[in-house]
Structure formats: structure tokens, C-alpha cells
Structure 1
């Protein structure tokens, strides 16, 4: 599969009048991490993530055919009811990147209305859910113009487009486990789009929980884009990429058999390796906070004493994702309330779980 296969070349185009499209798309949390890329948004290693359920973005795309044709982008963006001009540069950059694949976007005036199910200041990255929701809206628009487009092709191209807005957005369309990045052991995997994990998944992983502890709700000191770029010429970069590929191979039989101890070992090492790359880049930086480390220590101690299969992972920030199987939910929920919540800003955390992916909310 190469990029030209995603260029819009309809055989029978339907002329559209004013309309709207709505999609709800979830965030995701990577188990094997992606950190380091080449242009245009090509990952240096494959990654796999749990699709979440409760942390999602709902985006409505209102469209009107332009009365006077032009090749410029015409859009307004609203976040939770208020116009957000600060969002325009990122969306305009996204439109420029995808123009070759959806050239019809210059034929319309758009009103983009978006909202998150989680507080905007919660420290949860919304780029994955937001960009995937917008990509799905644009692909639904393409399908209205070209009804012969299949649902499978719509999802695949939406993932392809979403990747060009935010790499991790490629993993937010399906669930419960999605792979992005080519890997020799994962049939159908690609650097250009995410795919639902094609291997056998033990039932224990279909109902996994993720409670997100909001340690720090502020803006990150270093953006993910800057962090990815610092992997260029990083002294440990190639070893890290090899480690991630090997961990993907190791994870596959674990997902099949339900080996929770093996799962914990890989997931926690991946989280710590991600932050090790940050701490050894040039310039170096630390996104974990003292409370992040305190939570990790307490999770380790609780796992040892309770025998629960609880573990942690981290994204590129201070917040801690607490992962655990459904069978341990009662014990872990109590542990989080009584021991971990106090290390969060205003005792805040978000309870979530593995989900099935994006949902159309259009009539």
C-alpha cells in the first residue's frame, strides 16, 4: 500500500448541499510506545495501544459548498461552544498535509465544533481523539460524495489522514487493541495507518481497565513534536527502536495466552524506556513529577502484597495510567481511592476501560 492509493478519485460523484457529520472518537494509551519519527509522520518502530472508551472527543463538521470557488481553506473552529482561533494553525497545517488525498476540502466552507468528555485542562492529550474524529468526519464527507466507498476503506483512509495530524491518532479508530507501524510479525501492519490487532486476544484483555491519575494538569514543558525530533542523533535511538520491535514480538503470545505477569513486565519497561529517552536526549528533560514516582512505588508495593495484576504505564507526561484486569477491579478501585488519589491534583482521576473504537453520531 502506497500513498497514491489514498488519493480521492471518485467514479460517480454526488453533488452535495449544506449538511453536517458527527463522529465520537476515543483517545488511546500505548502499551508498546512510539517515540521517534521521520516525515511525513512515519514511526521509527511499531506501537500497540488500548483504545479507551470514556475519554473521547465528539466533533461535528458542518459543511456548505462555496458559492465562489477558491483553493484556500475556509473554516471556523469552536471548542465547547466558543470560537477557538488558537486551534486554527494546527488544523490548517493538517489540511495542507492531507490536501492531495482529499482535494475537495477547498470546495467547502466548514464549521468545526468539537468537545471533549474530559476536562480540557486535565492533562489528557486530546490530539489522538480530536484528529481522528475530524479525519472520520472528512471521510464521511467523501463517502457522501462517493457512496461506493466501503466502510473498511473509509476507516483505513481515516486512519491514514489522522496520522498526518497526530501520529497516535492513527490508533484511535478501532479497538480494543490497535497496531500502528510496520512489524514483520503483525500481518497487515503499516507505517501509513493503524490496524485492529489481527492476532488472538485472550478474554482478559478485552475488559482491561485504565484509571488515569491526573498528577499534573499543566502544559507539558516539552511538546511531543519536539520530543520526537530529539530522537534524531540520540545515542540510544537505534537500540530503543530495536527494543520496541522486540517487545512487540514478545507481547503477541502474551496477548494470546493471557499471561498477565508477562504483560506487566513489558508494559512497565516500555513506559520507563520512553522516559529514559527523554532524560538522555540533548537537551534532556524530565516530565515525571515527584508524585509520579510515589505512585509507581506504591503500585509496586500493592502488587506485591495483594497479588493483584495491577501495573502502570505513562505517556509523554506526568500522569499515570493504572492498568488492571476486570477481576481485580474492586480491590484496585479501593486502592486508588484510599492511597493514590491524594497524589493527584485535587484528588482527580478518570476511570476508563478498553473500548471498541470510534462511533458515528450522524443521523
Structure 2
């Protein structure tokens, strides 16, 4: 009862903020993202009736405390659906820097959910798997279905699941994401917990509905400018909400702001199709096209940060090659 799965992290395009139910991770509103490749998380899970306790390892470190509780919420749901209570050994590795705003929890819980589902012998669709991954992180639901995906809000698993948005293949293939890595630690969960306490939160709930409508239509039309201009505006809206909560979260760093200005200069002075986006972190996603990726990467690197160039990634998948298993 062993399986390995791989998933790509997400870049939030219209991001969720705050949860109606913290245990089941039902968000207040829908959210849309794209997966980024080749960045990925690989997870191997094995259920063993002779094992006495669960064992979780991420990037070579044993996970305990709250981190283990989050993984267990995914594993327990799989055990319940499978009708057994076997303990699990689960090991995970990330191919990219974690905890700097690059969505490692999304790919981590997506890969964990799919690996556990496969190891348990469950026959589930990816949207069904997304409801299990959501218990670890709401963003993980969208990492399960991949590409451009939409997580619907709801108060049950029938409603609150992710579905893939239809995007023209030539549009998705042309997107490039230049990552400007700004390695500042961030605490996403705490920001979600206090989201509703911001005086800007109600305004965001009202405004985000227009953002969602705009984004869905722009993705289906393959309209690069509308998709990523909307994502840029949504990033600013999200930051306004986090910064006006009780803790006054400010994730951005001087390098973050320098990248913002570089992007705007490229767009306004050089007519380059480029837009910035951030999730809850200081690292910046700089969205452009294949034609301009080298030029944009050079400009972002001139800000003194490490860079990567990524593409739109697909859904979580089972890895059949035994050589990719982590144990």
C-alpha cells in the first residue's frame, strides 16, 4: 500500500483570504490560480497495518506539532474513506525554496493527498482528491487540478472543490513566470485567522466577486493582459487587507518594491507585456510571455535577487517510476 505523487505549487491570481471553517478550510470566497512548473513537490506515502504510529518527513526533517496535525488532517480523511486505520509513513521533497511565498503548502498537500489516495486504493477524480487536499491547505485543492484552476467556496465537499478552467493551449504555453526570490519568512495561517478583523475585509469580499468574474472570462479568452492585470490588482487588494488586520502584517521587503517598480518601468517605458503578483510573502511573481522572458529575467535579476523562469504546470499526478519514490 505505497504510492508516489507529484504536484506543482500555485501562483494565486485571485486569492482567497480567511476561512469560514478553519478545520475543514472552507474559504469565504472562490479563488483562482495557475500552477507553476517545473517547480514541484514529490511525496511518497505507504500505509502499513504493522506500523504503530504515523511518520512524516518534509525535506529531510521530521514534522511534528502543528505541522503534523495539518498532514494528519489529510491522512485521516483518506483513512476514513478507505475504511481502515493503518498508520502511514509519508515523506516529501520540494524542488524549490519553501516558506518564502512560492506556494509550497499547495503542492505539498496536493501531492500528499494524491499519494495517500493512490496508496489506499481509492478511485477518486481529481476534483474529489482536491477536497481531501483542501483539509491541509485551501490552495492545495487548486494544485490538485492544475493549470488554471478555480476553487469554489462552500460548506461541504460537494460545493467546495477545485475545477480546471479551460484556457486556450497557445495562451497557457506562452506564459512565463519570472520568480524574483525574496527570502523573508512569512506566516500565512495567522493572517488567514485574523482576516475578518480587518476593516478592509468586507470591502474585499464585495470587490473580489468582480475580480473572479473578470478572471474566469479572461482565462477562457486567453487574454494575457486582462488575466495578469487583474492578478496584479488582486495582489494589492490582498495586501491592503492583511496590512490592516490586528497584527498589521507587512510581507513586502525593499527588494519586493524594487521589483514592482522595475515591472512598471518595463511596461510603461518599454511596452513589455509584464505584470507583478504576490501571494502572502515577499517573493514576486513577474508574469510575461515567452518572447520577453529573458529580458524580464535580466531586469528582475538586476534588483539583486535570485531568479527562476517557470511555466504553467499541469495537475497532480501519480509517479509510476519506482526510482522516483522517496523510500
- Same fold by TM-score greater than 0.5: yes
1:109 & 1:282 partners in 2: Cα distance?
Answer: 40
Equivalences for residues 74-93 of structure 1 within 5 A: 74-80=53-59, 82-86=60-64, 89-93=66-70
Partner deviation per Cα, 1:210-247 (whole Å, 9 max, x = no partner): 121111x2422xx2121112222422212201211111
* Secondary structure of 2:313 counterpart: coil
1:20 CA displacement: 1.8
Ranges of 4+ aligned residues in structure 1 off by more than 6 Å: none
1:31 corresponds in structure 2 to 13
Equivalences for residues 1-363 of structure 1 within 5 A: 19-39=1-21, 40-66=24-50, 74-80=53-59, 82-86=60-64, 89-96=66-73, 99=76, 102-103=79-80, 104=82, 107-120=85-98, 124-142=102-120, 144=121, 149=123, 153-182=124-153, 191-197=159-165, 199-201=166-168, 203-215=170-182, 217-220=183-186, 223-337=187-301, 339-340=302-303, 342=304, 344=305, 348-363=306-321
TM-score (norm 1): 0.79
Name the larger-Rg structure.
1
Task: Say how many residue pairs are matched.
Answer: 316
Does structure 2 retain, via aligned residues, the 8 Å contact 1:160–1:193?
yes
1:358 CA displacement: 1.5
Note the residue ranges of structure 2 that are not aligned, 5 or more in a row.
322-327
Structure 1 residues 258 and 134: alpha-carbon distance in aligned structure 2, compared to 1, 3 A threshold: closer
Partner deviation per Cα, 1:301-358 (whole Å, 9 max, x = no partner): 1111221111100010111111112232233233334x23x1x2xxx22221101122
1:120 CA displacement: 4.3
TM-score (norm 2): 0.87
* Secondary structure of 1:45 counterpart: coil
Note the residue ranges of structure 1 that are not aligned, 5 or more in a row.
1-18, 68-72, 184-188
Structure 1 residues 109 and 175: alpha-carbon distance in aligned structure 2, compared to 1, 3 A threshold: closer
* Secondary structure of 1:107 counterpart: coil
1:3 corresponds in structure 2 to none
